[in-house]
Chains A and B, each alone.
Chain A
Amino acid sequence: MDLEEKQLIKMQVRDGFIAGSPIVVGYLPIAIAYGVLAKQAGMTLMELTGMSLLVYAGAAQFMGAGMIGLGVSALEIIIATFVLNFRHFVMSLSFINQIKHYARKWKFGLSLGLTDETFSVSSIYKKQENQAYGYFFYGTIMLTSYLSWVLGSFLGGMLGDIIPQNLSQSMGVALYAMFIGLLIPSIRKYKRIAVISIAAMLINYIVSPYIGDGWGIVVGTVLGAFIGIFVLEEEKI
């Protein structure tokens, strides 16, 4: 590998790190809170960190730890997790279709790291998909997010609540603000996108009280994007 290639890879890794930094800011306090809760639910440090390493899904882990604490059966917990995380299938399908031309190993590796947050960042940063070594950009986003989640869980389980309560409560808005910060520039460029997002919001708001948060996001996303088929113009996306 010559110097220029190394330089390109380095640049993609650096850009990935910058693009992923809001996820790290959002994940750390939530992961710490998860570690604290899981400890209180009676899980050992190894179990709660292991759950972050293997499951790597925030909301599902909060739910799982809570249900373990309540003594709910394994089967119920696993089914509830499936329902809550099924939205990642829809997101993965969209992201993998975006990077269709990548080698199978990259598609596989990147799909392993897919969460609400890594999906959102990766699918909004589209220009890297056709750049040389763009997969290093996406890979860096996936890896830094994963590591911050695992590290935060471990810290929470080991040290307890190390972030003052009112600060960690305030940091709960971080990921929502990141979603907004990703969405608005797209809408600014192409206003019709707002129709899709607002439709998805309203659909989720209307249906989630009946079918739960997990399915609410799935239905909102799937139907909201359907509206996109009619409002988006081919050449502008």
Chain B
Amino acid sequence: MMIWVIIIGMALVTVIPRIIPAFIVDFIQFPDWVNKWLQAIPYAALGALIFPGIMTVIPDQPYIGVVAGIVAILLAWLRIHVIFVVLSAILTVFLLTI
């Protein structure tokens, strides 16, 4: 029973921040600089999500995540489709951990 209370509590505190923007953007006219800030968010979020998290792929060998990341950067730069970038990074970690 207690576990369901925890689950529902976790669900509420997760979903409320997610949905609030859907109800407020219609009522607020953001100034230009805020719009610019919001447009920059995806690139900032991607940066913050990639690093330093990628070093924890193999927690005691942080370099493995970094090497796989460099492989991913090179392939993505060569315009390889993202799904093959992902598969190559997986293969890189796999080979480095055999």
Q: Which residues of B contact A193 (CB under 8 A)?
A: 43
- Chain B interface, DSSP helix/strand/loop, else mixed: helix
**A94-B39, A94-B41, A220-B44 known; A179-B50 Cβ under 8 A:** yes
In the complex, which residues 55-98 of chain A have their Cβ closer than 8 Å to any Cβ of chain B?
55-57, 60-61, 64, 68, 74, 77-79, 81-82, 85-98
Q: Which residues of B contact A108 (CB under 8 A)?
A: 19, 22-23
Nearest-CB distance from A56 to chain B (Å)? 7
Q: Interface residues of A, CB < 8 Å — how many? A: 97
Q: Does A1 contact B (CB under 8 A)?
A: no
In the complex, which residues 66-80 of chain B have their Cβ closer than 8 Å to any Cβ of chain A?
68-69, 72-73, 75-77, 79
8 Å CB contact of A112 from B6, B19, B50, B85: B19
Among A4-12, A130-138, A147-155, A169-177, which stretch is in contact with chain B?
A: A169-177
CA distance A112 to B12 in the complex (A): 11
Which residues of B are interface residues toward A (Cβ below 8 A)? 2-11, 13-15, 17-23, 25-26, 30, 33, 35-54, 57-58, 65, 68-69, 72-73, 75-77, 79, 82-83, 85-94, 97-98
Provide a sorted-by-A list of 9 A–B residue pairs whose CB atoms are within 8 angstroms: A47-B3, A50-B7, A68-B3, A68-B6, A91-B45, A96-B25, A123-B41, A193-B43, A205-B51
